[in-house]
Amino acid sequence: MTNIKPNIVLIGTGGTIAGRGDSSVNASAYDCSILPIEEILASVEAAADIANIGAEQLFQMGSENFDSEQLLTLGKRISTLLRREDVDGVVITHGTDTMEETAYFLHLTLDSDKPVVLVGSMRPPSALSSDGPLNLYNAIVVAASPQATGKGVLLVCNDEIHTARDVSKHSTFKLEAFSSPYGPLGVVVEGRALFYRAPLRPHTVSSEWSIDCIEALPEVGIVYAHGGIRPATIKAMCDSGVAAIVYAATGNGNVARQLIGSLRQARSKGIHVVRASRTGSGIVVRNGGQPDDDYDWLAAGDQVAHKARLLMMVALSTSAAGSAQHARSDTAALQRILQEY
């Protein structure tokens, strides 16, 4: 009996995986986003044994340049592809700088249980021991695996399979740059995707949002805590027109006393305030470091600041909670979202 191979669409967006250095020892200094997706795919001939692969170039840029426009364009294109009966999964090659953010946005907004996998590399294809080809091969393996169905958007790097909700980049150059606070969902070994757990928080088909219904994303800013931070930082963020401020606080969402007045004033203007932590892991407890109920603030739970930002952008995109006049119940709804997702 002939095995029927799944149909996978490969979308290129640029990044290190599409980069080129002047020499084979340029692993950190190189030109980003040079190679077209067809050339990247051609370097992984073994992938043709796994799936029927079509490729298209959507962007050609470093992911540090991604903004709401790219997120929406990419999400809507993937949504269109996933509705096709002749598409079984999607793989996106992506710069590693903001790959976890794009993955989480898609995790929240794609209304499909088909596998979607993001992949990048820490070394360009021109470098000695580039990780790009194997990462891409492994990503295609995962996208073609029936076990990946229903697990939301995944990120594959360094032989590990991560859920988009948890994964973050933690190194500027190491191949093991990505990790999750609760560990990976699984690994890829010798061309086999091995899963050991599944994400339990709502995503994709169980999410409250659909990319097809989102036409614009509100601005949400992040203020990073540091010793001696001044209220002028909060004022500047408010003046920029944000709908919410995520404060990447010290410790358990602690707020320096000189900022409390400015953040309360921001909330009085209709700008939501979310306490997160700059530590990178752990839980910011509501009414822990600050009296959130009294100030009508929000707590990010265990989510890192840059992902709490994306969750707020998605939540406010279809909610009146970002308007100048709002009820306290909007804060309750947003706190539930931060708690559940």
The per-residue pLDDT string of the chain (341 residues; one tens digit each, 9 = 90 and over) reads: 457 999 999 999 999 999 877 767 666 667 778 899 999 999 999 999 999 999 999 999 999 999 999 999 999 999 999 999 999 999 999 999 999 999 999 999 999 999 999 999 999 888 888 999 999 999 999 999 999 999 999 999 999 999 999 999 999 999 999 999 999 999 999 999 999 999 999 999 999 999 999 999 999 999 999 999 999 999 999 999 999 999 999 999 999 999 999 999 999 999 999 999 999 999 999 999 899 999 999 999 999 999 999 999 999 997 544 443 344 458 999 999 999 99
Please report the pLDDT score of residue 16 as a whole number. Answer: 94
| CATH code reported for the domain at 219-340 | 3.40.50.40
DSSP per position, 245-269: EEEEEBTTTB--HHHHHHHHHHHHT
d(CA 32, CA 241): 32
Annotated catalytic residues are 16, 96
Please work out, in degrees rounded to the nearest 5, the angle formed at the alpha carbon of residue 162 by the alpha carbons of 97 and 9. Answer: 75
Domain ranges of the chain: 7-206, 219-340
Residue 275 burial by CB count (10 A; 0-12/13-18/19+): exposed, middle or buried? buried
Cα–Cα distance for residue pair 224/168, rounded to 1 Å: 17
Q: Identify the CATH assignment for 7-206 out of 1.10.10.60, 3.40.50.1170, 3.30.1330.50, 3.40.109.10.
A: 3.40.50.1170
Q: Do the first three CATH levels of 7-206 and 219-340 match, i.e. the same topology? A: yes
Q: What is the pLDDT of residue 296?
A: 97
Residue 3: predicted pLDDT: 72
Tell me how many degrees the CA angle 268-274-277 measures, rounded to the nearest 5: 145
Measure the CA–CA gap between 294 and 260, rounded to whole angstroms: 12
